[in-house]
A and B are shown apart, each in its own frame.
Chain A
Amino acid sequence: MEHHSILRVVSKLLIPPMLVYALYVQFHGEYSPGGGFQAGVVFAAAFVLYSLVHGIDALTRVAPPRVLHALAGLGVLIFAGTGVVTMALGDAYLGYYALGEHPQHAQEWGIVVVEFGVGMTVATVMLSLFIAFASHTRKLDDKDW
């Protein structure tokens, strides 16, 4: 879509705030609405917008599916692994009190870490799903729109 300069400029203006907003939703989720699920979706939406304007091949160069699949698994492992760590430290599975001296700090640490895992999995899964569907369609010419 080389000729659509309006789309390119608008997407260029929109994508950075979307990514920053996703990070805000992710790491400010303990204080405001949001959390890993919402942040992951917004983060993926920024990449989807990039792909809608520049094509699926440009997206897979920025975010190779192999890396996305590995990160999706890693997110689940971060969440599940946090539970294993708290068990090793002598608390229940996902009992965050074992993570620190101060109980509230320990809880907040646990929540931040597992929400990070959630966000990572959701963002990479949404993006991988989009790539899986979009990479099977014919390449559209500008005139086909």
Chain B
Amino acid sequence: MTANLIGIAIIDIVFFTLLVLTAIAILRQRNLFAVAMLSGVFSLLSAGLFVTLDAMDVAFTEAAVGAGISTVLMLGTLALTSRDEAKRPRSALLPLFVCLVAGAALVYGTLDMPPFGAVDNPIQTHVAPEYIARTPTDIGIPNVVAAVLASYRGFDTLGEVVVVFAALVAVLLMLGTSGRRTNGKNGKEE
């Protein structure tokens, strides 16, 4: 049991170290192509962390959407704009100050949170145990996540699907619906 926990702790430390290193690499990199690829790496590492938390469905989504499709969409956007980040016009002192204050506030906020993984955390004592207890009799499917997503919280999921659809509508309104190739600088259609 303790050997297991030590193993998980080592994996967590490795993942978090790599996450921080990736974030620093993203900050220092001026080439946006490399930044897009590194954000994909960041998502993949987060997916690994979700696996160590036993959140398979979230890990799967993060790997497929975060590391896969959004990287491709980011590269598609880069092809429409510039490949290099513009030079910073002013000094970085004010942004640094804002980041430090916001980060300190967030760290201060986590001090009030219950200890990680404790049995009496709110997440373990409210609706979650009820879903786990009732799914076999109510719904009768083994994947409780699917039961919560599609049945207990079906209305929320409907909202998510509408959001995805609305994102498409917004992009098509901005970029045009025809899907035909545009050519040249003035965007005239062929």
With A45-B69, A115-B146 as contacts: A132 and B171 at CB distance below 8 Å? yes
Interface-central residue, B64, B73, B150, by most chain A CB under 10 Å: B150
* Residue from B65, B79, B151 within 8 A of A41 (CB atoms): B65
Are B175 and A132 neighbours in the complex by a CB distance under 8 Å?
yes
Residues on the A chain within 8 Å of B187, using CB? 136
A121 to chain B, nearest CB (A): 5
* Residue from B68, B80, B140 within 8 A of A133 (CB atoms): B80
Are A111 and B77 neighbours in the complex by a CB distance under 8 Å?
no
Interface size, chain B (Cβ < 8 Å): 50
Interface residues on A, range: 35 or more
A101 to chain B, nearest CB (A): 14
Residues on the A chain within 8 Å of B56, using CB? 33
Are A111 and B139 neighbours in the complex by a CB distance under 8 Å?
yes
* Docked pose: A13 CA to B64 CA in angstroms: 19
Are B76 and A130 neighbours in the complex by a CB distance under 8 Å?
yes
Residues on the A chain within 8 Å of B65, using CB? 37, 41
Are A137 and B80 neighbours in the complex by a CB distance under 8 Å?
yes
Residues on the A chain within 8 Å of B179, using CB? 60, 64-66, 131-132, 135
Q: Scan residues 58-85 of chain A and give those whose CB is less than 8 A from a CB of chain B.
A: 60, 64-66, 69, 72-73, 75-76, 79-80, 83
* 28 A-B pairs in the complex with CB atoms less than 8 angstroms apart: A29-B146, A30-B143, A33-B59, A34-B57, A45-B64, A45-B69, A48-B69, A60-B179, A65-B178, A73-B165, A76-B162, A83-B154, A83-B158, A93-B155, A94-B155, A104-B140, A108-B140, A110-B150, A111-B141, A114-B158, A117-B161, A121-B165, A125-B167, A128-B172, A130-B73, A133-B73, A134-B79, A135-B181
Q: Which 7 A-B pairs have the closest CB atoms?
A: A133-B76, A104-B140, A65-B179, A33-B56, A30-B141, A94-B154, A111-B150
Q: What residues make up the interface of B, taking CB atoms closer than 8 Å to A?
A: 56-57, 59-61, 64-65, 68-69, 72-73, 76-77, 79-80, 138-143, 145-147, 149-151, 154-155, 157-158, 160-162, 164-165, 167-168, 171-172, 175-183, 187
